[in-house]
Amino acid sequence: MPSRRLLLLPALAALLAASGCRDAKIATYRVPRETPPPAAANAQSADPHAGLGIPPVNAASSPAPAMPTDMASTAVPTASGGDLSWTTPANWQSRAASAMRKATFIIPGESAGEQAELAVTAFPGDVGGNLANVNRWRQQLQLAPISASELDSALTHLHAGDLHIDVAELLGPVPADGKPRQRVLGAIVPFNGATWFFKLTGPDALVSREKSAYLAFVQTIRPSR
């Protein structure tokens, strides 16, 4: 006959199994769904002119799409802070400044209605650097952009006191409509975290006549006291 211990083993096993079933519980949890991070709305653009309302310059393309003929007409913030001062030739006629221009001067020509215009503007930072600034002026004259390797030879380097001034001279193509060929003399002056532009635009003959006066003028530029 089986011993009493053998008879107790199945009962003990049944008791342990029943106890184990009571302790095992199935738990469920709610896990919030992961959401992707928001887009980097403030990521910086590769365009150095982003936010300034100035079309980018693509050195690999030419000629450019239509652009404002005067950078002062674009909706960009002007530089604040310290100002520059200068001495103009006696025949330059001052016009009222505007929110976008630090100063405007008209240079009359010899014939009725002929004139050149000097616009003084200033913008925060380097506005893309000298290559972008020179190519923007070239685009305004419907000229192909130059490369970085051509930039230095396209600039005349001057000093006015402690200021370094880069001057570019550009001659536009002969217009098909018979209008005078346009010439630009543009001075780029970094100052106090901003870049100042002194751009003389007008008929080729008139701007050429004023070139020596213009170069003398830019060398009078100094920080205002």
3-state helix/strand/coil string of 115-165? EEEEEEEEEECCCCCHHHHHHHHHHHCCCCCCCHHHHHHHEEEEEECCEEE
Confidence band, pLDDT 50/70/90 cuts, at residue 167: very high
CB 86 within 8 A of CB 200: no
Mean pLDDT of the chain: 75
Tally of residues, the chain: 225
Indicate if the pLDDT at residue 12 is higher than 90: no
13 versus 211: the higher-pLDDT residue is: 211
| Gyration radius from the chain CA atoms | 36
Both tokens of 169, joined, read 């001279």
Task: Give me the half-sphere count of Cα atoms (radius 13 Å) on the Cβ side of residue 153.
Answer: 5
Confidence band, pLDDT 50/70/90 cuts, at residue 4: low
**What is the separation, in whole angstroms, between the first and last Cα of the chain?**
122
Both tokens of 123, joined, read 């913008």
Which pLDDT value is given to residue 72? 35
Superfamily of domain covering 99-223? Mog1/PsbP, alpha/beta/alpha sandwich (3.40.1000.10)
Q: Name which of 93, 87, 142 is nearest 117 in CA terms.
A: 93
Euclidean distance between CA atoms 165 and 181, whole angstroms: 26
For 61-69, what is the mean pLDDT? 37
**Domain range summary for the chain, segments of one domain joined by +:** 99-223
Indicate if the pLDDT at residue 203 is higher than 80: yes
Query: Can you tell me whether residue 209 is helix, strand or coil?
Result: helix
Look up residue 22 and give its amino acid. R
Euclidean distance between CA atoms 119 and 155, whole angstroms: 19
Q: How do residues 111-136 score in pLDDT, each as one tens digit? A: 888 999 999 999 999 999 999 999 99
For 181-210, what is the mean pLDDT? 97
For 25-53, what is the mean pLDDT? 37
Q: Name which of 62, 55, 60 is nearest 141 in CA terms.
A: 62
Q: Name which of 91, 99, 145 is nearest 122 in CA terms.
A: 99
Q: pTM (2 decimals)? A: 0.66
Euclidean distance between CA atoms 90 and 209, whole angstroms: 15
Indicate if the pLDDT at residue 49 is higher than 80: no
